[in-house]
Structure 1
Amino acid sequence: MALSEALASFAVKSYSWFGAAVYPLTAPLLAYRAAKGKEDRSRRSERLGHASLERPFGPLVWIHAASVGETTAVIPLMRELRRRDIHVLLTTGTVTSAAVAESRLGDTVIHQYVPLDFLPAVRRFLDYWQPDAAIGVESEIWPTTMSELRRRHIPQILVNARMSDRSFDRWQRYKSVAEALFGKLALVIAQSDVDAERFRDLGAWPVIVSGNIKVDSDAPPCEESTLNHYRQQIAGRKTWAAISTFEGEEKIAAMVQRALKAHTGMLTILVPRHPERSDDIEAMLIEKGLTVARRTRGDAITPETDVFLGDTIGEMGLYLRLTEVAFVGRSLAAEGGQNPLEPALLGCAILSGPQVSNFRESYQRLVRKGSARIVRDAEMLAKAVHFLLNNDVARLKMIDAGHESVQEMRGALTATLKGLEPYISPLSVKAKLEPRGAVQS
């Protein structure tokens, strides 16, 4: 064994040894996180690999989607697997993503919280669920889980895979470790040619390109009665939305509202990426002299309301349908960007800061088509919002370009299913040959 391979093997084993050493501390850690609202108190044992539901009889594919964006992206894939009579076990890592899974999928899939990447939890989880294949979404790499899946000869696949600049640079510094981990993957289905090349460079093989399956997702849903309720309250006021915002970007949104309200009577719809920050955000807005209506309280939007604070989970479809101009966060006061495809799907002219490395290809296509604009700072954002709200021709042109861009980018789900065919077709045949309704012990 080459020296680099030996060092990589030692690094992975050291990670496992460290996990074994800290495993006794996981229960109090989970209790602390539950007290902070970051874990589901009634289900935190799932994080230690304890199942809370029965495993159905027949083939089962484990899909792990870390958070809301990944969960939403793979909903069409999960529905396709269910159409083929393959059971789906979906794991997520956050309370918000679990709520989205419940609202969008109900009991059509089995939901559990993902086990912590410690060997006792992982083994307990795999012993019980016995998945026929494991599919990760975008960029989830857990060394202990990957090693245990490999030991059990369970194929592990990464779909809609992406590799950010920062992650690639970090893996490059530990390339032998990366090769030891990425080499365990049976298949990587990447979002773009750049992502594919990066995964290949880090030892993954085979790697194919599908495009971004988020483009093939349905537009986020919304109750028509709720939408009409708020539209009546807004009563024709000009609106813009700042969505998926991170700390610092809410202050920018407040500045835009204060700068433009006198000229336009504008209403700001503010949707933070992490709703648990909403109390602090509201306090900041009030301190700046702004009147706030919160969705969770059922506050009415009156002519005096400056900011409608969207502090709920899974209602992006509502918030984006209340406007035609959307700033997508994590791009001015934070780095990486957030998914711009939902606002494009729902008919919004898109504004974003320049820090969008996690969605570079999507933004390049949208900007090139004329459906998105990049702003450098708060002042430029305010000017862009003012221009679009007062220029119907320019705004509608961006909206139409967004619809065209999304249509041109579709097809990733078909490409993903084609790549997965060698793994899911045998399971589909197996499902049809086995009796239904039994529970696997």
Structure 2
Amino acid sequence: MLGTIEFCLYKFATYVAADKFAEKRISVFRKAGLSIERCTGILEDRPEGRLVWFHARDLHSAKPLLELITQLNYQELGLSFLVTTRRAEQTDDFVPLLPENTVHQFLPVDLKVPMTAFLNHWLPDVAVISEGEFWPRMLNKLTVRKVPLIAVNTKMKDKVYRNWLWLPGLAKKVLNTFDLILVQDQFVASRLKRLGAKTTKIRVAGVLAETPKLLNFDESLHSSMSAKIGSRSVWLSAATNRNEEDVIVNAHKIAMRRNRRLLLILHTREKGRGAYIAERHQNKNLTFSFQEKGGVIDDATDVFVSEDVDELATYLQLAPVTFCGGTLSDGQSIDPFHPAAAGSAIIHGPSYGDHRETYTRYNEAEATRQVSNGGELANTLTETIGPDVAAMLAHKAWEISSEGGEVSGTVISEILEKLADGAQTDAAT
């Protein structure tokens, strides 16, 4: 139970300004086109039995939590699940993603009356809080009720960290309400320790992220193409934007000065690009082969052009190095998870599009190489195509791509352990 002077001041301040907080919340919901009633977070009936509550800042951050729920459903323990988010946003596309036995609600503002009503209604048996959504009154009430608390994907951005430093007593109490705090790296762990979190409660586990669906892999095609490629070095430009095609071919030509037998698999985002690409580069003494015309790779092939999305997984497996197309133009790139999961070293440009968070994780782990233009791409490709460098980068990227599964296992084990402890306590009373 939180008992610091700072927490008392927090309760007093939120009590005095309760009406303003409530009015602001209602205004935000109205602007988002949401009914005022949804502010309460108690529009659905609580199902019977044990309930696990997952909370995230917004719908995007909540998606990785849905995979945990799906895995918990496989356990067939008769559990029900509540997913809450704080940001006011339309849920039409999110609700269909909810696994079985799961409802979504919006978290009420951290004021006495709405938060008490919310917790009295849902009575969670375990609470999993994502991305540092540490609301003091909420956590205090959960602690009083002896609800086990697990923090996942815990973040501590500079501004938030500086704010907590001004409230050391409250920060320490809030952090130590948790039974387990999972963080991405030692940097976040060190900040939490400085704020007073017990070392025994912190575990560096990586990021719990939404796992993209694996691409379809054609084993027969892989065997056939692998035999034709033989011992040649090969690299892939995946989902290439038409504005990048010349950059890719020029970089390949430069890299061939160091490795004459280097093969490029140029996978285009648009159909019918092969003939245009070959025509524009007919003076470069390059031999092209086109998948769309039934072409195959032979010893003379320098560039194999394909537009087939269904064969991308095969190309990723064949190429020790992959350039993520779109990252040097409009940012409409493939998820770096796919080359990482295939064991291919990743090169990319500065435009991340919808995958900014994922690329940032890989960059921070030094698991990719970023380039800004064609010249840098050619140089980086030449450096990376060597087996030692490619293998090192690919291994780092693979570790990032697979860490989500390890975090999931840790969280699920912890949830099941807390539920078992709760069942034993109930049986003893």
Aligned to 2:150, the other structure's residue is in SS state strand
Q: Give the TM-score normalised by structure 2.
A: 0.59
Q: How far off is 1:64 after superposition? A: 0.5
Whether contact under 8 Å (2:362, 2:368) holds in the other structure is no
Q: How far off is 1:381 after superposition? A: 5.2
Whether contact under 8 Å (2:52, 2:82) holds in the other structure is yes
Closer/same/farther in 2, CA of residues 16 and 415 from structure 1, 3 Å limit: same
Amino acid at match of 1:56: P
Amino acid at match of 1:411: E
Task: Name structure 2 gaps, 5 residues minimum.
Answer: 218-235, 251-269, 275-308, 317-321, 328-334
Whether contact under 8 Å (1:55, 1:128) holds in the other structure is yes
1:349 matches 2:346: yes
Whether contact under 8 Å (1:72, 1:214) holds in the other structure is no
1:181 matches 2:182: no
Whether contact under 8 Å (1:158, 1:185) holds in the other structure is yes
Whole-Å separation in 2 of the counterparts to 1:213 and 1:70: 11
Q: How far off is 1:188 after superposition? A: 1.8
Deviations 1:245-272 (A, max 9, x none): xxxxxxxxxxxx75x4554599xxxxxx
Q: How far off is 1:121 after superposition? A: 2.8
1:207 matches 2:204: no
1:425 matches 2:420: yes
Amino acid at match of 1:65: A
1:62 matches 2:53: yes
Structure with greater Cα Rg: 2
Q: How far off is 1:136 after superposition? A: 0.3
Whether contact under 8 Å (1:62, 1:131) holds in the other structure is yes
**Percent identical residues:** 17
Aligned counterpart in structure 2 of residue 120 of structure 1, from 92, 109, 113: 113
Q: How does 1:245-256 map to 2 (within 5 A)?
A: none
Deviations 1:107-153 (A, max 9, x none): 34222222233333322322221112221012112233223333433
Amino acid at match of 1:63: F
CA RMSD after TM alignment: 4.9
Q: Give the TM-score normalised by structure 1.
A: 0.58
Q: How far off is 1:63 after superposition? A: 0.4
Whole-Å separation in 1 of the counterparts to 2:325 and 2:136: 36
1:75 matches 2:63: no
1:48 matches 2:43: no
Closer/same/farther in 2, CA of residues 327 and 47 from structure 1, 3 Å limit: farther
Q: How far off is 1:75 after superposition? A: 3.1
Which residue of 1 is the match for residue 239 of structure 2? 239
Whether contact under 8 Å (2:55, 2:84) holds in the other structure is yes
Which residue of 2 is the match for residue 271 of structure 1? none
Deviations 1:354-404 (A, max 9, x none): 999999875444x2xxx41245xxxx2565557779999479947844664
Closer/same/farther in 2, CA of residues 152 and 48 from structure 1, 3 Å limit: same
Which residue of 2 is the match for residue 32 of structure 1? 31
Task: Name structure 1 gaps, 5 residues minimum.
Answer: 35-40, 225-235, 242-256, 267-299, 305-316, 330-338, 434-441
Whether contact under 8 Å (1:49, 1:122) holds in the other structure is no
Aligned counterpart in structure 2 of residue 411 of structure 1, from 406, 411, 421: 406
Structure possessing the higher relative contact order (Cα contacts under 8 Å, 6 or more residues apart): 1
Deviations 1:23-58 (A, max 9, x none): 144333311232xxxxxx3x552222331x321100
Q: How does 1:2-401 map to 2 (within 5 A)?
A: 5-34=4-33, 41=34, 45-51=37-43, 53-82=44-73, 83=75, 84-94=77-87, 98=91, 101-205=94-198, 206-214=200-208, 218-220=211-213, 239-240=239-240, 260=244, 262-263=246-247, 325-326=323-324, 344-345=340-341, 349=346, 351=348, 363-365=363-365, 367=366, 371-374=367-370, 380=372, 383-384=375-376, 393=385, 397=390, 400-401=394-395
Whole-Å separation in 2 of the counterparts to 1:357 and 1:426: 36
Whole-Å separation in 2 of the counterparts to 1:115 and 1:342: 38
